Amino acid sequence: MKLRILGNSIRLRLTQTEVKNLAHGETIHERTHFGPNNLLEYKLSIKKIPNLDVDFQDGKISIALPELTGETWANGTDVSLKYQIPIAGKTDLLVLIEKDFKCKTERVGENEDDMFPNPDC
């Protein structure tokens, strides 16, 4: 799972295996180490909740999709889910969850075997 943060937006891109595992109830998680006691963790899950849940505590980003939405997306042909969450009346947090496609051109040193086929190729 790839994480991209830009301003007030978070984008997660998942491989085919990660999407399949998510649909089967697994939590998808990654870690980025910045030193011995400095870690960024991020995870995505599907839960029996009515709305998207996003939390950031102690260097951990947790995103939970509502069960029906998450399972429909994971088992369907839609590429992405998009949410805009109001933040204290000042701005919105944009959350995108996407299926990760193979690049149109080969990237040296990057394994794309588990990415979704690119519909433009």
What pLDDT, in 10s, does the model give residues 19-65? 999 999 999 999 999 988 899 999 999 999 999 999 999 999 999 99
Tokens of 97: 């969850």
List the CATH code of the domain at 2-99: 3.30.1360
Instruction: List the domain boundaries for the chain.
Output: 2-99
What residues have CB less than 8 Å from 75, skipping those under 6 apart?
Answer: 23
Of residues 27, 31, 60, the one with CA closest to residue 45: 27
Of residues 119, 59, 35, 33, the one with CA closest to residue 43: 59
Residue type, 118: N
Tokens of 118: 């690119």
* pLDDT at 54 (0 to 100): 96
* Residue with token string 């085919």: 16
